[in-house]
Amino acid sequence: VSWKRVAIPLAGLPVVALLAYGLTRDATLVPSPLPGRPAPDFAMSALSGDSVRLADLRGQVVLLNFWASWCLPCLQEHPLLVAADERWREQGLRIVGVVYQDSPGNARDWLRERGGEWVHGLDPGSRLAIEYGLFGVPETFFIDRAGVIRYKHVGPLTADVVSTWVTRLLADSSAAAPDTTPSSAQPRSRGAS
């Protein structure tokens, strides 16, 4: 049997395999280099008028959520954030919203209707968004007690993602948690009451 009859189709095989593999991938999803790295620090003025600094939140688990009032998926994930805030705040979860390409007025109105009493930073010029490699909203970063980004979620959050990461990071004691560390006697859920 001629080797060419086998070799020529075989040479094409890797190309076809590569293309076939490419079809299974979503080109719009780009792996972020950020997870595993220290979260870039920020100091933003907040919607409420005060300011918020990431360095001040060291020792807490931070859920950094980029959102906008014009963003429909943000609407979808918002109740999850409200519930997470109620449920885990006392155990050391701090949600920080970042208003992305939106006016403070619109953001305030949106929050007034839907709740969300955690701090919301303003990001004029999208500086922080760019530093966090944002593609759009909503995007959420889970930052552990040591200030390291552990996970980045693109798109609306799901209950699974929130509870998995928040409980994992809250339980992670590798970073020295300050005095706010809850004792195990504390109720696990306040949301149920």
Binding site for other proteins (CB under 8 A): 2-4, 8, 30-34, 41-43, 101, 103, 105-106, 109, 124-136
Residue number with CB closer to other proteins (126 or 163): 126
CB of 54 to other proteins, least distance (A): 9
CB of 49 to other proteins, least distance (A): 14
Rounded to the nearest 5 degrees, what angle is found at the Cα of 176, between the Cα atoms of 184 and 161? Answer: 65
CA 173 – CA 152 distance, rounded (Å): 20
Q: Are 148 and 37 in contact (CB under 8 A)?
A: yes
CB of 125 to other proteins, least distance (A): 5
Burial class of residue 75, CB neighbours in 10 A (0-12, 13-18, 19+)? middle
- Residue type (1 letter), 91: Q
Residue number with CB closer to other proteins (86 or 131): 131
Whether the ω angle into residue 14 lies within 30 degrees of 0, i.e. cis, is no
Residue number with CB closer to other proteins (124 or 187): 124
Residue number with CB closer to other proteins (127 or 188): 127
CB of 57 to other proteins, least distance (A): 14
Residue number with CB closer to other proteins (126 or 167): 126
CB of 182 to other proteins, least distance (A): 30
Residue number with CB closer to other proteins (79 or 135): 135
Q: Are 99 and 120 in contact (CB under 8 A)?
A: yes
- Percent of the chain as helix, strand, coil, to the nearest 5: 40, 20, 40
- Residue type (1 letter), 71: C
Contacts 24+ apart (CB under 8 A), 108-115: 108/47, 109/69, 110/69, 111/47, 114/75, 114/78, 114/82, 115/82
CB of 78 to other proteins, least distance (A): 20
